[in-house]
Structure 1
Amino acid sequence: MSNQTQKIKITFIAAECAPLAKVGGLADVIGSLPSALSQDKLDISIIIPAYETILKNWSNQFTNYQKEIQVKFDHSIKSVTIHQIIINSIPIYLIENKKYLSTGLIYPKSDASSGGSEEEAKRFLFFSQAALTFAQESNPQIIHCHDWHTGIIPHLIKYQNLPFKSILTIHNLAYQGIYSGQLVNQLLATNFPTKTVNCLRQGIINADYVTTVSPNYAQEILTPEFGCGLSPALKKKKNHLIGILNGLDLKIYNPANDPLITTNYSTNNLSKKIKNKFFLQKKFHLQEDSQIPLLSIVCRLTPQKGITLLREIIPRLMEMDTQLILLGSGLSTYEKFLKSFNRKYPQKFHAEIGFNGQLAHQVYAGSDIFLMPSKFEPCGLGQMIAMRYGTIPVAHAVGGLKDTIQNKKNGFLFENYQSEDFYQIIKKTLVFYRQPSKWLKLQKSAMTTDFSWQKSAQEYLKLYQKIS
């Protein structure tokens, strides 16, 4: 038997994939995990929607591959065009359909959550059906689905009696894709008897294995506190539920050669990091001073990310000798109060509303301390990126934050989700900051923590081999 025929064929199906379409951490995982997996043992492809932004910005890099397929949806046959682009030697197939997938933004809701609208249901249920229809042409052994957008696929595999094994990876249990049962039955020709259909729950129930993105989060979601109403279904699945920590693409996030930051540096010349701090202070009209600790946050502005705690302590932080930069977008109520702080503390605080990839790299490189007061955090990539850049994370001890941050060794953790606890841990961090030898040791420890995909990729490989 040839090497090629021994490979396990796996198709990833997801709503995002960096660098083509990115809103959150899901995109980073889909963009980096496949290429980290063993190419000798696995034959991997990815299917994502051909969003309008992809057709506009990437079509000149599509290969000559193009295929028309017919998809059964909403009591009729819909035509879709399949395009292909190859990134890091991985073929990515893009499903184009103007009505459902290729017009407008990636998500109907600005914060990327699942709002349950009919527009959202049609987009991602159509994508799931189209991706599954196309997958039958290449006939993979395993279909690896990601999050609520594709949670219905394990059910469809069983309902349509297809010969695939399935894995569902939960990146964020809070977003579930809950739609009218009548609408789902109409669109997919299913026969759900319930008033509503929870796509993520269907994925949990029907997948051969469920994974999530950190070991600690895999345990947390079995409890009512973190289970988001799905802990009973997850408990029934616990013998087929594992947590595998996300990794980072270390080629992209490397301060030694990152082309997006002002000045490159490494553990050997950490003194150069300060030039990135001066760049940020100047850019946002903050006082240019190497001694003032510069705090930062890069996140979506949603309740999950602890913005309420932040709001409560910003006035107290501004009374101290600190500066704070925030980069992100999301709920308009959050954006509004952050803009008001811009006006109130012009030399000490700046909220940049929106997302800019280059600026995010510059914030990671230029700040001293990175804040992640998340109420829950399945894995979190921000703390890993910050550490890679020698920026010390201060985070709530939940989910993947607890798996990746060792308190007082490469970052700081607070246990209770209270603004006072958050404030006090920042004060303790600032004590370390004012002791240069201790701070340098922390930075070097953070920068040398292993966040590569190597270990996690081996765990995924074992899982694929187990169920194929």
Structure 2
Amino acid sequence: KNVSADKWELKRVKKFKIAYDKKIEPVEILRTLLPESRVPVYFLSNHKYFNKEEVYSGGLKKFLFYSLASLEAMKVLRFKPDIIHCHDHQTGLAKNIIASTYKEDKFFQGVKIIFIIHNLNYQGKQNPVILEKVDHDIDKLAPVVNDLKDGDINFMVQGILSADIITTVSPAYAEEILKPELGVGLDNILRKRKKDLYGIINGLDVDLFNPATDRNLKFNYSVEPDGQQESKKTILELIKGKQKNKIWLQKKVGLPVDGSKALAGFVSRIVWQKGADLITEEIVKKSDCQFVVLGAGEEQYHRHFKNLAEKHPEKFSAQIKFSIEMASQIYAASDIFLMPSRYEPCGLGQMIAMRYGSVPIVRATGGLKDTVFNLSGVKCQMSNVGGANGFVFKKFKSKELEIVLKRALDIYYNKPKKWQKLQLNGMKTDFSWDKSAKEYVKLYKKLVKN
């Protein structure tokens, strides 16, 4: 509903009907082009299931309808794909629908399925009655029969079992989910598919996340190095740009204005996964820096951060809300970016932060481990910075975060050249989709070849 037909110049191209939940549902296909390209993008419209503004409202009955409608739309458009790339548990039954509803249809013969796991914790467990919505003996398929033995249907399990290739959003996460600690009860199933499991880090839209052009910033600044060596002009522009944004943000969120004071940012869904509880009052009191938190999520963590802000207004600001605009402002203003996650399949925050010259402190898990390279040793010389672009701690303990934050602040205040090197290393790291896209193309070619 919240996709503007006028803004994206959507054109109605086809109409069709499908049987779903013992009713005949109308579906309309709309078409536009990917901006600045000739790549067509299709949207599906249905008043009953796609009439909400929130993407995830409506539950899995909506996404099961979406899977069925998407497959039928391919037939209506006469577009037979080589590969269907399914994302997360919401599309986990796509292959099952092909094997049941379209089992006598030659259209989908030879079509391969890639299933990508974005977050294994969200599995889509449902009462088996939901299968009656698509009918056509889907409950008689072997993977479904086995799944039903525990009294529910798990959409994530079905995606894993039925796909030709499984991917997830970082190499480290692909390894972690094979073990009980982060396998969320599915590690045994995933180990059986290990040879078909790949980890490819998500890319970043480097045009969208660019402090030189970001319209959400009060002061834009460039992070592009001049040639191979960073010029003094580049470093000076970075320092001035971030300091001006910091002072502006300090005023906006009510922190004492001090451009020389280190500012640590935290932008995230405020939930159990993200390690909000590691940012304790003890850390706030002991650390020689200010903190600004932005996000929304679980009420217990809202209370935790609000309490810190009330007790330490001179050091802590809690912005409990969702704001794309303020997120950009924190990336630009912060010197340090905190991501102490319990687990993190990929994570974009650390990559965006580095793009804006903020040095990340992360826990060694998932995509954080794949993208942030630790500066180890307090006494390391300038030459030892090497390819480091941040700080990493391993154990999920507040004391570990406290220690590494203290080390980061020591370098920030006492070794500015080393700090600038960390910033520039992060900004030079290629987080664009170029590399990741090539990895996906390799998988696509492998599937088509086979």
Please tell me the TM-score bracket, short chain as reference: 0.7 to 0.9
1:381-431 deviation digits (Å, cap 9, x = unpaired): 110110111100000001111111110110000011111111211111111
User: Are positions 1:101 and 2:76 aligned together?
Assistant: no
Equivalent in 193, 198, 202 of residue 237 of structure 1: 193
Equivalent in 71, 79, 93 of residue 132 of structure 1: 71
1:134 aligned partner, one-letter code: A
Residue 61 (structure 1) shift: 2.5
Report the equivalent of 1:317: 284
Report the equivalent of 2:203: 247
2:54 aligned partner, one-letter code: L
Equivalent in 230, 240, 243 of residue 274 of structure 1: 243
Report the equivalent of 1:168: 115
Equivalent in 67, 80, 89 of residue 148 of structure 1: 89
User: For residues 282 and 223 of structure 1, what CA distance do their matches in structure 2 show?
Assistant: 46
Q: How do 1:170-189 and structure 2 match up within 5 A? A: 170-189=117-136
Percent pairwise identity = 43
Residue 319 (structure 1) shift: 4.3
Report the equivalent of 2:395: 416
Instruction: Verify the 8 A CA contact 2:412 2:419 in the aligned structure 1.
Output: yes
Residue 154 (structure 1) shift: 2.3
User: Partner of 2:182: helix, strand, or coil?
Assistant: coil
Report the equivalent of 1:343: 310
1:250-288 deviation digits (Å, cap 9, x = unpaired): 111122232221222234121222111111101101111
Q: How do 1:426-437 and structure 2 match up within 5 A? A: 426-434=405-413, 435-437=415-417
1:45-102 deviation digits (Å, cap 9, x = unpaired): xxxxxxx222xx4544333234222122112211122222323323322222222222
1:113-166 deviation digits (Å, cap 9, x = unpaired): xxxxxx412121111111122123322111101111111112222333332211
Report the equivalent of 2:323: 356
User: For residues 169 and 400 of structure 1, what CA distance do their matches in structure 2 show?
Assistant: 15
**TM-score when normalising by structure 2:** 0.86
Listed as ranges, the gaps of 5+ residues in structure 2 are 224-233, 376-387
2:270 aligned partner, one-letter code: L
User: For residues 354 and 168 of structure 1, what CA distance do their matches in structure 2 show?
Assistant: 32
2:221 aligned partner, one-letter code: Y
- 1:58–1:385 CA distance, 2 compared to 1 (3 A): farther
Structure index of larger Rg: 2
- 1:188–1:337 CA distance, 2 compared to 1 (3 A): farther
Q: Which moved more, 1:187-196 or 1:382-391?
A: 187-196
User: For residues 451 and 255 of structure 1, what CA distance do their matches in structure 2 show?
Assistant: 15
User: For residues 334 and 175 of structure 2, what CA distance do their matches in structure 1 show?
Assistant: 33
Report the equivalent of 1:112: none
Report the equivalent of 1:212: 168
Aligned residues: 403
Instruction: Verify the 8 A CA contact 2:244 2:259 in the aligned structure 1.
Output: no
User: For residues 87 and 318 of structure 1, what CA distance do their matches in structure 2 show?
Assistant: 49
Instruction: Verify the 8 A CA contact 1:122 1:187 in the aligned structure 2.
Output: no
User: For residues 459 and 252 of structure 1, what CA distance do their matches in structure 2 show?
Assistant: 22
Instruction: Verify the 8 A CA contact 2:364 2:393 in the aligned structure 1.
Output: yes
Instruction: Verify the 8 A CA contact 2:11 2:32 in the aligned structure 1.
Output: no
Residue 219 (structure 1) shift: 0.8
- 1:133–1:262 CA distance, 2 compared to 1 (3 A): same
Equivalent in 424, 429, 437 of residue 449 of structure 1: 429
- 1:69–1:344 CA distance, 2 compared to 1 (3 A): farther
Report the equivalent of 2:274: 305
Residue 330 (structure 1) shift: 1.2
User: Partner of 1:53: helix, strand, or coil?
Assistant: coil
Report the equivalent of 2:182: 226
User: Partner of 1:274: helix, strand, or coil?
Assistant: helix
Listed as ranges, the gaps of 5+ residues in structure 1 are 1-51, 109-118
1:330 aligned partner, one-letter code: G
Q: Which moved more, 1:250-259 or 1:181-190?
A: 181-190
**TM-score when normalising by structure 1:** 0.82
User: For residues 406 and 8 of structure 2, what CA distance do their matches in structure 1 show?
Assistant: 49
2:400 aligned partner, one-letter code: D
User: For residues 340 and 207 of structure 2, what CA distance do their matches in structure 1 show?
Assistant: 27
User: For residues 311 and 59 of structure 2, what CA distance do their matches in structure 1 show?
Assistant: 38
Equivalent in 252, 264, 270 of residue 295 of structure 1: 264
1:246 aligned partner, one-letter code: N
User: Are positions 1:262 and 2:242 aligned together?
Assistant: no
User: For residues 41 and 300 of structure 2, what CA distance do their matches in structure 1 show?
Assistant: 37
